[in-house]
Structure 1
Amino acid sequence: MKKIKYLFFCLIAIGLTTNAQEKIHVVSHQGETIVTDPSQGSNSYKRMAKFPEASKPIRSIILNLKFECPDKMRCADWDYVDHIKARQVNDTTVYEIARMLTPYGGFFQKDWGFEWRVDVTDFSLILRDEVEIDYIHTGYEDNKSRGWKVTVDFEIIYGKPVANPLAVHKLYDGNFKYGFKDDPIENHLVPITYKAKSNNGFSKIKIHQTGHGMDANGCGEFCSKYRDILFNGAVIDRQDLWMECGDNPLFPQAGTWIFDRANWCPGYLVQPDEVLLNTEAGKSFTVDINMEPYETENPSANELLSAFVIEYESPNAKNDVTLTDIIQPSTKVTHKRKNPFGGLPVIQVKNNGSNPLKKMNIEYYIEGEKPQKYKWTGDIQFGESAAITLPTEVFSKKEQAKFHVSLSKPNGKTDAFKADNEMVSNYERPDILPDTIVVYYKSNNKPWQNNYSIVNSFGEVAFAKDSIHIKPSTVYQDTIHLKPGNYNFKFNDTEGDGLEFWFKAKDGRGEVKLLDANGKAIKQFGSDFGSHINYNFSVQPDMLYELDNEPSVGVFPARTQGPITLDYFCNTPANVKVLIVDQEDETKVFEAHNYMNFSKGTLTYDLSYLPKNRYYILVYMNDKGVYKNRIRLKE
């Protein structure tokens, strides 16, 4: 029997004005070490948490999930499915409220951490009073030397709901076989009929679905199939269950993180699919999920699916807009591919009013500067979200500042709930670059996959290079002169595997860096970046630029029969030390190399004499660790 622990919530008051939001945090798992149970393939961590009483109105609930490396272990290796489930203390029904796909953590350092968010407001009827929150970690890897440090934090904002919830119905919940001729998945995903509550205004279907298993066609993990949602016998939604992983904000990872998958990626908190249902008060309705017809010999695919129908009263307001996120500028790790940022800000809003959102006022500014005002027009239906690009650039000479956004007058009317109309993000000034830069590009063996450009905030192209005349394993240096302004450097890889990837050693390794007119590095990029490099910078004549004096180190291939190559580049000569050590015990040093007054070059090693194993290669600059990566030898 696992020990049941009671965790209490803390109250955080946000401001004292009439527009303030009262917020609390309920933390069910606080920095707990999570490991597998190889004997079962699943390990349960049940904790009791105290949520608000049923009489307290809840506006929203956001689940914040934080992963770190454990204090006394290294980060775990594999992309396993984890479930977060909730059960009210006096109920036997268990609800999957969130699903996590763990990252490949093989070379994450001790100070690594990442945090994801998902909206779980639809489960507000369940998250009341005493609730058992079960974090279930699946998998079979070693549980003595690796794991995760996990925090599960429910961020609850009090206030009038968008619509009053009436009931949560579990539609499907299971690991359904897919591709079996004698037992098709539709034998299990059968239509289910409910009778709507007498005060029902609308309903919502909410789905967590990921594909797993590996048959001859790559199904279910590596094949794209569509899914239909039927309401009263008619298809109201069709979606391809497929996700591109090369632009994952958590990158690089140790395993096959770039490979596109069936509705998930390694290192990803599932954002559930939601479809509104036009249910009528007191009348019966039928909901059904159908998968694309599929049969194969020797099937092994599974669709891991949980689906719920949530009934609501009619929306509480006709005109109600919510500012749900500031994407640029932001310091959130989930937005790090798009930041730091100077340029046209991007926000995300949601229409929570029953009337379509046709217009509103937006005010935005960096703290201490003149507010900008924008009269937005468009069309956002009830329950839908949209990203909005604001028309005026934001830039501050301050390295850090607060960025403010506020919404008002949805459809020209008073907002029914003003407390979620304002938000503040952290602005970090983009790098300052000189007006003359050099794009240094060393192609890998497949240069036709690459192109790059420099574009200002308003879409004007300052420089662009396609792949037509690029040769394999060749260095190109393009000198570009820029006017003052804010810019984006975009380097694309159409295959989504960057300029190097351990699984594709035959593709070779390339490099990208930005240099000044003297050949010094001002920005260096890792080669294992997936789909693209997205780098924002600013050219300001009255501001000095700084050099990127951190060394750039790359080792290739990461999976080898013996030979490896280490590329090193640094603006400053230093004493460089390279160590080859055992992965499980870094005190076991197999090779040590010292290079005095070294700044750049290519170093080669042959490890073929060592036994099959996994090793780390460590690089030190003046005795400071600057690089650590894993080598798979003879695997």
Structure 2
Amino acid sequence: MKKILCTLMALIGLNLASQAAVGDTTTVLAHNETKLQTYTSYDTVITFPSGTTPYQKIIMDFTLGKYDCGGSYNPATAGEGAGRSGWCSDWDYDLHIIVMTAAGDTIELGEVITPYANTTLPMFPWTWKRNYRYDVTDFYPILKNGATIRIFYAGWSGGFTGTTKFRFIEGTPPRNVLAVKSLWKSGNDGYAYGETISIDSQIVKRTVTPPAGTTAASVRTIISGHGFGNQAYCSEFCSKWYRLMINNQNVEQKSIWKPDCGYNQAYPQSGTWVYDRANWCPGEHVEPYVQSVPVAALSAPFTVDLDFQPYTNVGTTGNPGAWYKLSSAVIFYGTYNRQKDIGVEHIISPTTDANEYRNNPICGSPKIVVKNYGSETATSIKFEYGVEGGTLSTYTYTTNLAANASAEVNLPSLASLQTAAANSIFVVRVLSVNNATDENADNNVLKSSFVPSPEWTGGNFAIQLKTSGAVSGQQNRTDWKITNISTGAVVSSRNGTANATTYNDTITLPNGCYKLELDCSTLGAGLRNPYLISAAGSFIVRNLSTNLRITLDKNRDGLTSAYQGNLEGWMGSGFTQYFTVIGSTSVLKVENNINLNIYPNPTTDVLHIRVDGLGIQKGTLTLTNSIGASLYTAVMTGNDHKINTAEFPSGVYTLNYSSDKGNRVEKVVIRH
């Protein structure tokens, strides 16, 4: 049974919550595709349930969409100045979802950054939507009765819409939340950083008193850095830290930095989306930091403060400001209500969820996220999983998952994922915890719709990698490898270590499931990037049985934009593509130049070396220092070798591999 509770129903006195049973859901709709047109607040008055009913989980779904600004705007000519038609959904703006209660509580629930979403890019039509889901169960003490939900939109042009919806799922919560107290909330313009008035003096130390019965507490902080017209490009493009101070003691230091924007799920975007930033990426939500208060501090009133890394702002432009937008709240908890309670939180793969685009589709190992909602550490979790309607598999996951902790779980591979029909349903459920029954069946099962991985026929393929030109004088290294999922072995690979160079390889694969990985993570620029790369590279896979090119969706093959041009290869830090080979009658065969794969690089103690390519029976390894002196020599009789590098000083070395098949040379960095 699903119920909808909206403002109109509340006004006429309809109380649906009283009719519900455990697991029933009450939905409260606040904003409904509200047009976000300019820099201002968009408020909606709503009525939450009264607070007399317990809820095991409260979910806030924020859906970001688009609308056509109309007028003279043309996405193909977006921009300012002569011949340009202005902006509409073209910029990365921060927006904040805030609850304000009649009692005076003001708490930020979430922050989202809009993408560079020019409509000429095929992935961002006017109908584009993306959902951002937040577990806001801990805010139940203030999500009651009348309240105002605010979207503050820090954008100077329009084109985006916002929908805010709350779902109250009835039942006993993991633990009772005793109180929520706001600590700090910056204004719309944030806290200035590096100025005469320091950020530490703006964020004033607070004293808080734990309610009776408190057994745990945490500080939840949402923070994002902005501004870059200064020497250090702070705060948007500089990595700084802050420390949570409890009773003047450093509890935990957090880096205000998000280092993986090149793996953005929504790509490419019509702007500088690959640049790493101060805890945010365009098109993503800002992940809150949750830091525990030491239990020893909970027996009496305690002080809480945030101390920031020292910094002096030196401007270089007419707009040199650096600032952080920040909100923090402290949450107090009672005891756990169950001992054994594992919840299946999320399915990473297989799924058609757009938030997991880079991780799907698969033909290999399903991946899920679980959370321990019980007081007892989970040492084993037994799962049942598979394609709904078919034979399900079981797997016991051995772990040491503490209370309130989460973990990603890789389930053993399923052959049925390779043969499933489109829009099949994957299901996973918890069968037992620590060899006993889970005490809460309501969060044990999760399902997802999925499509199978693409099929590559024949087994004979040609792979061409053309590396790009330099990026700001740096070598834009691009590597690829193919892994056999059933064996875990890398069956072919290539290290693209030279700029503007073409590498051609052919490979014959038996039937089965494989994973192709293209790695551009050294710089995160991809093979094409109009803001960073003047000479684009390319990555092409061709089926030799048909002589036709295989379309790689993750590489954005065949896609163009009237605003940005060719989009192929503009994938940021790389991509992963699973595929299933069918119709092959061959055994594995690789014909390529010698491929030397070394890792980790830089290294500290041990350097692993792998030579890919069948037919390589014997070769010689030589490691030389910067003046050409030979420090290590060994004969390789197989494909794998290890060198103990602990005995060598830090520095840059040259590794040479020679055999009757040819030579390869790689630079090795040793750091101690």
1:226 to 219, 236, 241: 241
Distance 1:72 1:292, change over 3 A: closer
1:236 to 251, 255, 259: 251
2:310 matched to which residue of 1? 293
Distance 1:202 1:433, change over 3 A: same
Distance 1:292 1:7, change over 3 A: farther
Hey, what's the Cα distance between the residues in 1 that align with 2:292 and 2:514? 40
Structure 1 residue identity aligned to 2:461:
I
Q: Does 1:118 align with 2:134?
A: yes
Q: Does 1:304 align with 2:318?
A: no
What are the superposed Cα offsets for residues 68-125 of structure 1, whole Å, 9 maximum, x if unpaired?
Answer: 221554741211111111112x223321111111111223322322222222222122
1:161 matched to which residue of 2? 173
Distance 1:413 1:289, change over 3 A: farther
Structure 2 residue identity aligned to 1:260:
D
- CA contact 1:201–1:314 (8 Å) conserved in 2: yes
1:489 matched to which residue of 2? 516
Hey, what's the Cα distance between the residues in 1 that align with 2:455 and 2:93? 41
Distance 1:208 1:56, change over 3 A: same
Structure 1 residue identity aligned to 2:582:
Q
Q: Does 1:194 align with 2:208?
A: yes
Hey, what's the Cα distance between the residues in 2 that align with 1:52 and 1:117? 20
Deviation at 1:350, TM superposition (A): 0.6
Hey, what's the Cα distance between the residues in 1 that align with 2:335 and 2:354? 36
Query: What's the secondary structure of 1:186's corresponding residue?
Result: helix
2:24 matched to which residue of 1? 22
Q: Does 1:76 align with 2:89?
A: yes
Hey, what's the Cα distance between the residues in 2 that align with 1:158 and 1:136? 30
What percentage of residue pairs aligned between the two structures are identical? 29
Hey, what's the Cα distance between the residues in 2 that align with 1:125 and 1:216? 44
1:263 to 261, 271, 279: 279
2:197 matched to which residue of 1? 183
2:182 matched to which residue of 1? 170
Distance 1:423 1:106, change over 3 A: same
Hey, what's the Cα distance between the residues in 1 that align with 2:427 and 2:164? 28
What are the superposed Cα offsets for residues 424-445 of structure 1, whole Å, 9 maximum, x if unpaired?
Answer: 1112111011222222333321
Structure 2 residue identity aligned to 1:438:
A
Q: Does 1:503 align with 2:519?
A: no
Distance 1:314 1:281, change over 3 A: farther
Deviation at 1:49, TM superposition (A): 2.2
Structure 2 residue identity aligned to 1:501:
N
What are the superposed Cα offsets for residues 190-212 of structure 1, whole Å, 9 maximum, x if unpaired?
Answer: 33221111111111110100111
Hey, what's the Cα distance between the residues in 2 that align with 1:283 and 1:26? 37
1:452 to 480, 493, 503: 480
Query: What's the secondary structure of 1:164's corresponding residue?
Result: strand
1:54 matched to which residue of 2? 51
TM-score if structure 1 supplies the norm length? 0.78
2:595 matched to which residue of 1? none
1:439 to 463, 466, 471: 463
- CA contact 1:191–1:288 (8 Å) conserved in 2: yes
Distance 1:354 1:77, change over 3 A: same
- CA contact 1:83–1:100 (8 Å) conserved in 2: yes
Deviation at 1:8, TM superposition (A): 5.3
Q: Does 1:248 align with 2:264?
A: yes
Moved more, 476-485 or 316-325: 476-485
Query: What's the secondary structure of 1:30's corresponding residue?
Result: coil
- CA contact 1:496–1:532 (8 Å) conserved in 2: yes
Distance 1:270 1:296, change over 3 A: closer
Runs of 4+ deviating beyond 6 Å: 9-13
Distance 1:274 1:11, change over 3 A: farther
Query: What's the secondary structure of 1:187's corresponding residue?
Result: helix
Q: Does 1:87 align with 2:100?
A: yes
Distance 1:25 1:12, change over 3 A: same
Measured on the aligned residues, the alpha-carbon RMSD in Å equals 2.4
1:368 to 389, 403, 412: 389
Equivalent positions of 1:354-433 (< 5 A) are: 354-394=375-415, 395=417, 396-433=419-456
- CA contact 2:511–2:584 (8 Å) conserved in 1: no
Hey, what's the Cα distance between the residues in 2 that align with 1:510 and 1:113? 31
2:219 matched to which residue of 1? 205
- CA contact 1:345–1:390 (8 Å) conserved in 2: yes
Deviation at 1:60, TM superposition (A): 1.6
Structure 2 residue identity aligned to 1:70:
Y
2:355 matched to which residue of 1? 334
Query: What's the secondary structure of 1:334's corresponding residue?
Result: helix
1:64 to 61, 75, 78: 61
Distance 1:78 1:448, change over 3 A: closer
Distance 1:12 1:475, change over 3 A: farther
- CA contact 1:198–1:281 (8 Å) conserved in 2: no
Query: What's the secondary structure of 1:313's corresponding residue?
Result: strand
Hey, what's the Cα distance between the residues in 1 that align with 2:550 and 2:110? 41
Query: What's the secondary structure of 1:504's corresponding residue?
Result: coil
Matched positions, count: 521
Hey, what's the Cα distance between the residues in 2 that align with 1:471 and 1:12? 65
Distance 1:24 1:475, change over 3 A: farther
1:463 matched to which residue of 2? 492
Distance 1:302 1:196, change over 3 A: same
Hey, what's the Cα distance between the residues in 2 that align with 1:400 and 1:484? 23
Moved more, 519-528 or 303-312: 519-528
Query: What's the secondary structure of 1:208's corresponding residue?
Result: strand
Q: Does 1:519 align with 2:543?
A: no
2:293 matched to which residue of 1? 277
- CA contact 1:7–1:27 (8 Å) conserved in 2: no
Deviation at 1:361, TM superposition (A): 0.8
Structure 2 residue identity aligned to 1:326:
I
Structure 1 residue identity aligned to 2:413:
T
What are the superposed Cα offsets for residues 360-416 of structure 1, whole Å, 9 maximum, x if unpaired?
Answer: 111111122221111111111221111010123352332231111001322233322
Query: What's the secondary structure of 1:378's corresponding residue?
Result: strand
Distance 1:511 1:352, change over 3 A: same
Structure 1 residue identity aligned to 2:239:
S
Structure 2 residue identity aligned to 1:209:
I
- CA contact 1:6–1:47 (8 Å) conserved in 2: no
Structure 2 residue identity aligned to 1:536:
Y
- CA contact 2:235–2:278 (8 Å) conserved in 1: yes
Query: What's the secondary structure of 1:503's corresponding residue?
Result: coil
Hey, what's the Cα distance between the residues in 2 that align with 1:231 and 1:412? 39
Deviation at 1:28, TM superposition (A): 0.8
Answer 1 or 2: which has greater strand percent.
Answer: 1
In structure 2, stretches of 5+ residues that fail to align are 1-5, 76-87, 557-568, 586-672
Hey, what's the Cα distance between the residues in 2 that align with 1:156 and 1:336? 28
Deviation at 1:495, TM superposition (A): 0.8
Hey, what's the Cα distance between the residues in 2 that align with 1:491 and 1:438? 15
Hey, what's the Cα distance between the residues in 2 that align with 1:330 and 1:12? 33
Hey, what's the Cα distance between the residues in 1 that align with 2:16 and 2:356? 25
Structure 2 residue identity aligned to 1:540:
I
